[in-house]
Structure 1
Amino acid sequence: MCAYTVSSDTLFYLIVLILYIINFTVTFSVNNNMVTIEVLTGSNFKKWKEDIDFAMEMADVDLSLVSDKPRDFIVASTEDEKLVQAAWMKSNHICLLSMRRSILDHLKSGMPTDYTAK
């Protein structure tokens, strides 16, 4: 059996690092792959956006990120148009939930409520 001596400062910094990793990432499984999204803190937008794009594509719900919102239903809408609209709305909802879940609370307060994921 090996015994290691670690200074209290080193132990403290390791605990802080572990807590940082736990509190500032969102991890979930998509198609048996672990996907981690770094929490948006205000200074890491580029990394956060890459994480969101990757995670949503892996989950196959990125339709609302890669295409514009389809026009609203009208009486003459075809079944295909209705299916596209429904798929886009579901994609947008899931993407927005994932985004909101990975943003610090103080940044969420300024977010509008009527927006799309794109």
Structure 2
Amino acid sequence: MDSASSISANVNNIPVLNGTNFKKWKERVMIVLGCMDLDYALREDRLANLTNASTAKQSATVEKWERSNRMSLMIMKHSIPEAINGAIPEKSRAKTFLDQIAN
């Protein structure tokens, strides 16, 4: 697992989104999330809700997706000014959030 200082350095390497640097911002976000193995929710759709019949593998996959989604959202929101962040509807999925910012 990455140390706290390494995680902080990675996250702080993402430029603040300013409306004119989306391409560079997205590139850095994707690199950081990929290097931290947190880009799963951006690459894969969420599985259906778990049931009593769900396997341990399905449960682990959903847990991995949930963690990736939560961390991706936190990291993206950290590098967006409050004015921009407040203008984007609150989304529970990182992929949707990223699409909203692109638009």
1:50 is displaced (CA, Å) by 0.3
1:1-118 to 2 correspondences below 5 Å: 29-30=6-7, 34-35=9-10, 36-118=13-95
Runs of 4+ that moved beyond 4 A = none
Q: Distance in 1 between matches of 2:44 and 2:50?
A: 17
Letter in 2 for 1:106: A
1:75 is displaced (CA, Å) by 2.0
Give CA deviations for 1:73-105 in whole Å, capped at 9, x if unaligned: 122111110000001000100000000000011
Q: Distance in 1 between matches of 2:56 and 2:89?
A: 32
Query: Tell me, what secondary structure is at the counterpart of 2:14?
Result: strand
Higher Cα Rg, which structure: 1
Structure number with higher strand proportion: 1
Ranges in structure 2 where 5+ consecutive residues have no aligned partner: 96-103
1:111 is displaced (CA, Å) by 2.1
Query: Tell me, what secondary structure is at the counterpart of 1:73?
Result: coil
RMSD over equivalenced CA pairs, Å: 1.7
Q: Distance in 2 between matches of 1:110 and 1:74?
A: 36
Percent identical residues: 33
TM-score (norm 2): 0.78
